[in-house]
Amino acid sequence: MDIKEIREVYKQVFVSYDNPSLEKHINKIIELDEYWPYSSTFFCLTNTQDLSFGYVSKNMTACLGLDKEDFYKGGMKYFWSRIHPDDLEPWLAALNDLMVFTLDSIDEPDRKKMNYTWNYRLKNGNNQYVNVIQNTTPLELDSHLKPIIGLAHYTVLESAIKMDITATAKLLNCKNEYETKYFNNLSQKLLTDSISNRERDVIRLLVLSKTSKEISAKLNISSHTVDTHRRNILKKLKLSSTGELIALVKANKIII
């Protein structure tokens, strides 16, 4: 999926009607960044109105090995171009679900109190994919109360850590505590929605440590057909091995 397709999918999200000034937000962020310690987390001021970064913190280069000027010049399009191709569709689905949930289920006065989290893999300066957990808090809403300016925190983790793609929306309640209002495991949804009944049968037996030959006898199909099912399952779920499949099923306590 290229950037034009992303923009088309997200055209309703990026429609905005105001032109708020970023100056006061940028000044606050710059002041804070001067004292912020180096860590595995960096933050940016994001503007979905013009798809730009109003500010990028000093930690970004330490976390990703990328040039801040590329963020300023390329904006969100540059950032998106570095997301792992396999994560683009789940990532878009996560953001779309969060926006639909907010507009449909959160009262207008509370939309300024929302906080959103999602994750994906991103190519760093060494051309290696790392896990990124993004947490965004809206700072400005347009006249339709749609978030357009946000403070985004990014936590970077090693790619060796296998992470499901999830989306979470939290609301700052009357006790000044964030409570989860929405959670969706996109990886689990992919597992439960895209697998055929016969493939489910195969997965059940794989979880029980059955070989292809044993599965073949149990389901009364050829070993070749079993192996075909196994390849198709891994391809659908974007996994590289049966071990990853079994770990995914067990970790999410999914009943196949």
Residue 157 lies in a domain: yes
Rounded mean pLDDT of 215-226? 92
Check whether residue 100 and residue 181 sit in a common domain: yes
Please state the domain count of the chain: 2
Residue 104 lies in a domain: yes
* Domain-terminating residue out of 186, 210, 227: 186
> Phi first, then psi: what are they for 34, rounded to 5°?
-60, -30
Domain containing 33: what range? 3-186
Q: Average pLDDT, whole number, for the chain?
A: 84
Q: How far is CA 163 from CA 31, 39, 131, 166, in A?
A: 34, 21, 8, 9
- Of 205, 189, 202, nearest to 229 (Cα)? 202
Where do we find the tokens 């878009």?
A: 92
Check whether residue 217 and residue 107 sit in a common domain: no
Q: Identify the band that residue 253 occupies on the pLDDT scale cut at 50, 70 and 90.
A: low
Instruction: Show the tokens assigned to 51.
Output: 């798809």
Residue 123: predicted pLDDT? 96
Q: What is the 3-state secondary structure (H, E, C) of the chain?
A: CCHHHHHHHCCCCCCCCCCCCCHHHHHHHHHHHCCCCCCCEEEEEEECCCCEEEEECCHHHHHHCCCHHHHHHHHHHHHHHCECHHHHHHHHHHHHHHHHHHHHHCCHHHHHHEEEEEEEEEECCCCCEEEEEEEEEEEEECCCCCEEEEEEEEEEECCCCCCCCEEEEEEECCCCCEEEEEEEEHHHHHHHHHCCHHHHHHHHHHHCCCCHHHHHHHHCCCHHHHHHHHHHHHHHHCCCCHHHHHHHHHHCCCCC
Rounded mean pLDDT of 19-38? 72
For residues 82 and 6, the model is more confident at 82
Check whether residue 118 and residue 225 sit in a common domain: no
Residue 89: predicted pLDDT? 80
| Lowest-pLDDT range of 70-79, 82-91, 222-231 | 82-91
Chain-centroid distance, C-alpha 193: 19
- Of 115, 122, 136, 110, nearest to 46 (Cα)? 136
- Residue 69 identity (one-letter amino acid): E
For residues 229 and 22, the model is more confident at 229
Check whether residue 181 and residue 202 sit in a common domain: no
Q: Identify the band that residue 180 occupies on the pLDDT scale cut at 50, 70 and 90.
A: very high
Residue 171: predicted pLDDT? 93
Check whether residue 119 and residue 202 sit in a common domain: no
Residue 166 lies in a domain: yes
Residue 68: predicted pLDDT? 94
Residue 40 lies in a domain: yes
Check whether residue 91 and residue 204 sit in a common domain: no
Residue 256 lies in a domain: no
Check whether residue 155 and residue 106 sit in a common domain: yes
Sign of CA dihedral 97, 98, 99, 101: positive
pLDDT reading at 25 higher than 80 = no
Check whether residue 39 and residue 147 sit in a common domain: yes
Residue 245: predicted pLDDT? 84
CATH of the domain at 121: 3.30.450.20
pLDDT reading at 23 higher than 60 = yes
Report the distance separating Cα 80 and Cα 216, nearest Å. 43
Total residues belonging to the chain: 256
* Domain-terminating residue out of 186, 211, 234: 186
CATH of the domain at 209: 1.10.10.10
Residue 76 lies in a domain: yes
Rounded mean pLDDT of 2-12? 63
* Domain-terminating residue out of 165, 186, 207: 186
pLDDT reading at 198 higher than 70 = yes
Check whether residue 173 and residue 200 sit in a common domain: no
Report the distance separating Cα 121 and Cα 161, nearest Å. 11
Residue 168 lies in a domain: yes
With contact defined as beta carbons under 8 Å apart, do 256 and 204 qualify? yes
pLDDT reading at 146 higher than 80 = no
Check whether residue 85 and residue 9 sit in a common domain: yes
Check whether residue 78 and residue 172 sit in a common domain: yes
Residue 234 lies in a domain: yes
Check whether residue 138 and residue 213 sit in a common domain: no
